[in-house]
Every structure is written in structure tokens, then in C-alpha cells.
Structure 1
């Protein structure tokens, strides 16, 4: 909206509506005086005039704290040089006002689930803690006290809410509501240490789970088929439940939307065989491209979770095991099978390889094998003297081989093999 030239009144200033961009209402009775209205709804008085040809600009307070009549008197005294300029007041918006703008301009790009999470933390935690404060008046002490109280109840939730608060305040500075010298009070506040809750199924547990799922799939349980696909691909629950037959390609699953955006999931031979067999069991009319691959009654997630609880009990799995742990199991078994973190990260659709590293648990047997391999390689290096030394010339190769445990003394075992093993 263009700047408007009006005879300002309190009622007119109060009724002015925020727009997508900042605009001003200029007063006809006091030249140079204007009410600046920001997108978040904050209203502040600005006075511009010239002294000896030099442009001077003063901030005269906010509306409605300073009314039209009072601000005209201040502006007139300034122009007549009958009074000194008042100290610049804070024109930063209230936290609740700016948060509404942040949700409209920034959080609107979130996915529906992310937007619900954002609104929940704002409504339940941030607004009760910081409403009524101007964003430039929120101090580090305010944030620390709130964060410690919340951490005592829910450490993970406190971390998430702190991240949202930091993002809101960063946007306030980026969008010009705060000076360049302002420092974000959230900076350097240490988040709570995350408790690793993920686990993975052992080979025996995977066999028992597979037997129960196969038995249920033979009875036509679609939720069990979805769980089986989760264990074979490492996909997220939402990714599988949103699958349509048009997304199932000969060699991959085309995910139209996921946590990290659209992506393709390559399918190995076992997964292709499973999907081919499952597709044969589905009626022809239910296999059109826009039909759901796993049509579940009611709320799909509640339906698959209900089946998971029964499957978990039948397979004698721990009561703490979650559906998402099937994804953890996929990552862990991939690492134990010799796949790299990079390859496993691509299969899981992680945007950061550090996320995959958190999921890559190793079974005790795999760690034992690794320790034994490294130990034997080190023993081979220690037991083999440098080439050309008197000790190596006196020893015979067969004796060396026997003293090192047989195969460790064979040719080809050297620093390059040791580095590769590590």
C-alpha cells in the first residue's frame, strides 16, 4: 500500500490494518510526522524534517502508548527547536504480534505435520513465556530460566521449542525489526543431551517377526504387508502409508513427498518379489495408479499401530520396540553387512550423514568380529620384524607363520591391508 496523506486521529490510527509490506500514514496537520505500520501490526511514530539542509529523523514512540495529540506537540517542539529529541524508544513489536507474522511468512512453508508441531510449541510454551514482551526486551536470562523450567519436564520438547524461538528471533533481525548490533539471546545456550531411544532387531528377532508377518499376510492383513515393506526398505511409516500404485515403478518407489522432499527408493530383488506377490493378491479395481497400495480403515497410522502391537506380542519382541525401530534395524544391518554410511544414508533419505551414524548400531557379535580382525592385523605387524633386520634374516618363514598363528604370516598382510580394515 502506498503512503497516505491524512489528518490523523486516534480512531484512524487504531483502525489502520497491517499489510504485506510496511506503509505509513502521513499527517497533514504536522508536516514530517508519520505513523509507520509494520506487517506484524506494530505502529510507531516517525518525525522527519530538515535543519540547515540536513535531513533529521527521530522516533517518537509507539501507538497507542503515545496518542496523536501528544505526538503532535512533541513534533512541533522539535521543529521549533524548543526541545531536545527524546531518547529513541523501542519500536520492536510484541512477541505475540511478531510471531503471528512469522507464522504467516515463514512457517507457512512447513508441511502440514510440521506446521501443527510449530503451532503446538508456540501455543503451549512460547506464548505463555514471552507474551507481552517486546522482542528486543527478551534477555538471555529470560530464555535460560524458561528453558530450564521446561527441560525439567520434557528435555526433548525444550530443545525443539528453543530452536523455534531462535528461528523467530533470527527472522526479526533479518526483516529489520531489530538493529544490526542486536545479539540473539538464544545463542550459545546448550541444548539438552539427546537420549538415544532407537534400537534394532537381532537376526533371530527378524526371523521371528518375518514368520508372524508372513502368517498374517496369508490371511489378507494389509497392515502386516505394510510392516513387511517397512522392514525391507527402511522407509518411514508415512512414506509407505501414502504410497499409490502409480508410485511403484519396476525398480524403485517414487516418493512424491517425504520428510526431506521427493525422492526415489531403489528396490532390490527381494523387495520386487514381495511387491509382485502382494500385487497379485490385490483386486484389479484396487490397482489403478491413484489407488493406495495399503488401504487401511479409519486413520491409517492408528490401524497399522494397532496391528503392530499384536504382531510385536506374537513375535515375543520387547514391549519398548516401536515401528520406527524397523528403520533403525534396516540401517544397522546395512552397516553390519559392510555398506558405507554414505550408501545407507542415501537409501534412508537422510539429508545429513550424521543422522545415519546415530542409527547405525552394531551388534555385539559384529563388534567382536571387528575387534578380532583388528587385533590379528596388529599382531601380524608386531610379530613381523622390519625387512633386512638381523632378526628377520635368522628366522625362517615357516617359523614366522607358525609363531603368528598360521595364516597371519602369509604374504600380502601389511600396512595397506591394516588401513583398509580400519
Structure 2
């Protein structure tokens, strides 16, 4: 497509099934790329050299909007195209300059351009690991200079607590960074993705994270026993009698009754609650749209939640139009009362799954209940099948023993036909 580019032309351009370009009718080589996801990026195209045999280069100027207006992008394109006419290769020069960026700059570039399919909650976790671990330890190093030895040292430093910190993040917030082997393993995993982005962008020729042996990640292996669940129930009752926010108690109960993620319950809206059918029908979650079955216990919790007129969230914030986010603070108090200091909120989700599996539910069923998009994620609960299998084996063994004991005298030796 070719027409005079203007702000209105770019604003009106709609995404299609695939990426496409609109080229300026006045300045040859200047255009805008409309990605299928809706992102609009100004570009310029030129030949690196003279003649038709010279290779064509396409160089990104910047995304439509702040700071790049159509006029500013056109002015930048004129500079690039002018340099190309005089024999320069601006795209290659930029690529060479990028190869000298620091790890901190690479992380910022990754967050800007390499995370298109990640959910906001995942991005928030990534940013935390980048700011609290990656940048402090590797941020100043040039990307091409990072070696496998650097990554091994990075892994050990996080595991030993070198990046541990406790800082205020606002008038009432704190960020407690402990480090440890699990954090080290997951952060190196993120770093591997960042360097894969650098490899795909032509900034490096080899990913230094590849081949580095990490610590076993035991994330998600904490399940509550029946006795611990009983203690938790008593702590819930005690919290309800004290000054603990009732929203926090209700949210925590729903987490253990449904196996949902904390963000899914905290941000729950009344229009997503179908009490009659017994479902939560989430418009969005970590894995997209999701339906969560409500057991009798979950239905009872929701039936006791006060509904505030004019507020769309089931658990609205005390001020503004947002939702309640004080669950972690309440959980720290409740778990201490229950003697479960090592249990995280997310372990309630794992406990729901472990109880379901131990009760005989198949892994595909549990995966469906939890909303796993990848069946391999559910495999962490595979070993829990041992309990129902052991019970079945014992029951079968008792029957066989009884049969053998009662019918042993009737057995006769069988003559071998080869004799």
C-alpha cells in the first residue's frame, strides 16, 4: 500500500490477519508497519550500496505515538535515507552498536520488545527478578562479554543470598528478597530467555546460559496434610473472630476450595460468578478465559460475602474502584497462628491439587480443574497417585491372600508336557 502518511492515516489503519506495510507516497522508503496484534511501527527501507544487486535493508525508527509522531518519524527517515544515498549502512551500524549494549540495557529492550505474549502478572515477576537480581549482579557487563562462567557465578551468588534485601516500596509496602537455590534457578531460567532474545536479535552468536546446570527447582512441592488443614481451619476461625479483614479470609478459603490463583480470586467480578450453575467464568487468566467449578464449600464462602452496590468486584478495595490486595499480609498472620510458617499462598493451590489426585482424580482431570494449558505442568502431582494406587494394591492383595489361603489345598502340581 502506498499513500501520503499522516497521523490520521496511521491512526485509522486496522490490524489484519498478518503484518502489512503502508508506504509513504512522497518519501520513498518511509513507511509504517501494522502488526497483526495492532502495534504500529515506523520504518524505512533502502539499498545498502548501488545498483539493483545491492541488498535491501529495513530499519525500525520507532513505535507510533510518544515519542514518535508521523512528522518526527519522517524527519528521521530522511536522515537515514540521506546517509544511505551517501554510501552508509545505518541499519548495520545500529546493529553493531547494539552488540555493545549492557545486560541492563538488554533487559530493558527485552521487556519492551520480547514479552508480547506474557501476562501482566508474569511480567511483574520478571521485572522483579531483573531489578533485584540480574541488574545488580550482571547489569554493567557488555552483552557479548558474558560467559558461561559468569552465569555459574551468578547462580551461586543468588543461591548464597548475595542479592538478599529488605526495602520499603511505598508508605505501606515492603519488598523482601531472600534469594536461595529456587530463586537462583528460576532467575537463570529468565536470563536464558533474555539471552535467547539477544541471539534472535543478532546481538550474540551463542547463548551463555545454555548448558549451565541449575539447582533442582522444588517450587510447588509443599502440600498441606490433613492435620495441617485442620490447623488452618482453626486459624481461619480465630481470624474471623479478631480484626482480620473478612475479604482476606474469604479469599484464602476460596483458594483452598478451588485451586485458583490468588490474582484470579482477588480480581474476581460479580458478573463472573454463576452461583446457580456453580462456576466462576473468568474473562481472563494466566491461560486465557477460564471456568472454575465451585464446590459446596466455595459456594458457601461466596454466599456469605457482602455485596456492595455500585462495586463490580467481589472483594472491592476500601478506596477507589480497584479490588482488595491485602491478602498476603493477612496470610502471614494466619499461617503463623496455624504453625505453617513455611507455607506460601500458592501452596493452597497445590494442596487442592494434591487432595484431588490422592483422592483418585486423574492428572488430566486435575489439569482441567487448575486450568493448566500444558499437560506437563500437571506432572508435578504424578507421584501423588501412589497413595490411591497403594490402597488399591493393598485391597487386591488382601483378597488374593484370602483366596490363596482358602483354596490352597485344592491346588495340584501340573506335569510338564515336555517330560
Per the TM superposition, whether the score is higher than 0.5 is: yes
Mapped partners of 2:361, 2:241: distance in 1: 32
Q: Quick check: 361-370 or 301-310, which moved more?
A: 361-370
Q: Given the alignment of the two structures, is residue 43 of structure 1 paired with residue 64 of structure 2, yes or no?
A: no
The equivalent residue for 2:102 is 95
Q: Given the alignment of the two structures, is residue 183 of structure 1 paired with residue 187 of structure 2, yes or no?
A: no
The alpha-carbon distance between structure 1 residues 320 and 300, as it changes in their structure 2 partners (threshold 3 A), is farther
- After TM superposition, the structure 1 = structure 2 runs for residues 267-278 of structure 1, keeping only pairs within 5 Å, are 267-275=294-302, 277-278=303-304
Tell me if structure 2 keeps the 8 A contact 1:234–1:348: yes
The equivalent residue for 1:117 is 125
Q: Quick check: 251-260 or 130-139, which moved more?
A: 130-139
Mapped partners of 1:162, 1:361: distance in 2: 27
After superposition, give the CA deviation of every residue in 1:43-62 in whole Å (9 maximum; x if it has no partner). Answer: 36xxxxxxxxxxxxxxxxx6
Q: Quick check: 233-242 or 120-129, which moved more?
A: 120-129
How far off is 1:192 after superposition?
0.9
Q: Quick check: 214-223 or 264-273, which moved more?
A: 214-223
The equivalent residue for 1:261 is 288
How far off is 1:111 after superposition?
3.3
Tell me if structure 1 keeps the 8 A contact 2:220–2:347: no
Mapped partners of 2:116, 2:213: distance in 1: 28
Tell me which of 272, 293, 308 is aligned to 2:314.
Answer: 293
The alpha-carbon distance between structure 1 residues 310 and 18, as it changes in their structure 2 partners (threshold 3 A), is same
Tell me if structure 2 keeps the 8 A contact 1:222–1:294: yes
After superposition, give the CA deviation of every residue in 1:44-100 in whole Å (9 maximum; x if it has no partner). Answer: 6xxxxxxxxxxxxxxxxx67xxxxxxxxxxxxxxxxxxxxxxxxxxx7342344443
Mapped partners of 2:90, 2:208: distance in 1: 27
After superposition, give the CA deviation of every residue in 1:243-288 in whole Å (9 maximum; x if it has no partner). Answer: 111110132102233232331102234433443x325xx25xx155
How far off is 1:124 after superposition?
3.9
Tell me which of 229, 241, 249 is aligned to 2:266.
Answer: 241
Q: Quick check: 243-252 or 265-274, which moved more?
A: 265-274
The alpha-carbon distance between structure 1 residues 183 and 177, as it changes in their structure 2 partners (threshold 3 A), is closer
5+ long unaligned stretches in structure 2 = 1-42, 48-58, 64-75, 162-179
Mapped partners of 1:139, 1:208: distance in 2: 49
Tell me if structure 2 keeps the 8 A contact 1:199–1:321: yes
Mapped partners of 2:90, 2:403: distance in 1: 77
How far off is 1:210 after superposition?
3.7
The equivalent residue for 1:414 is none
How far off is 1:391 after superposition?
3.4
- After TM superposition, the structure 1 = structure 2 runs for residues 157-172 of structure 1, keeping only pairs within 5 Å, are 157-172=183-198
Q: Quick check: 159-168 or 366-375, which moved more?
A: 366-375
Normalising by structure 2, report the TM-score.
Answer: 0.62
- After TM superposition, the structure 1 = structure 2 runs for residues 125-274 of structure 1, keeping only pairs within 5 Å, are 125-131=133-139, 134-153=142-161, 154-178=180-204, 182-195=205-218, 198-210=221-233, 213=236, 221-249=246-274, 250=276, 251-274=278-301
Give 3-state SS (helix, strand or coil) of 1:189's partner. Answer: coil
Q: Given the alignment of the two structures, is residue 335 of structure 1 paired with residue 328 of structure 2, yes or no?
A: no
How far off is 1:329 after superposition?
2.0
How far off is 1:3 after superposition?
5.6
Give 3-state SS (helix, strand or coil) of 1:231's partner. Answer: helix
How far off is 1:128 after superposition?
4.7
Tell me if structure 2 keeps the 8 A contact 1:199–1:361: no
Tell me if structure 2 keeps the 8 A contact 1:26–1:34: no
Tell me which of 20, 25, 44 is aligned to 1:2.
Answer: 44
How far off is 1:126 after superposition?
3.1
The alpha-carbon distance between structure 1 residues 378 and 353, as it changes in their structure 2 partners (threshold 3 A), is farther
How far off is 1:221 after superposition?
2.5
Mapped partners of 1:272, 1:27: distance in 2: 68
Give 3-state SS (helix, strand or coil) of 1:264's partner. Answer: strand
The equivalent residue for 1:305 is 328
5+ long unaligned stretches in structure 1 = 6-16, 45-61, 64-90, 394-422
The alpha-carbon distance between structure 1 residues 209 and 34, as it changes in their structure 2 partners (threshold 3 A), is same
The equivalent residue for 2:174 is none
The alpha-carbon distance between structure 1 residues 27 and 246, as it changes in their structure 2 partners (threshold 3 A), is closer
Corresponding pairs, count: 323
The equivalent residue for 2:9 is none
Tell me if structure 2 keeps the 8 A contact 1:385–1:391: no
The alpha-carbon distance between structure 1 residues 163 and 325, as it changes in their structure 2 partners (threshold 3 A), is closer
After superposition, give the CA deviation of every residue in 1:108-144 in whole Å (9 maximum; x if it has no partner). Answer: 5533333333233333443455456554443333333
Give 3-state SS (helix, strand or coil) of 1:43's partner. Answer: helix
Structure number, greater radius of gyration:
1
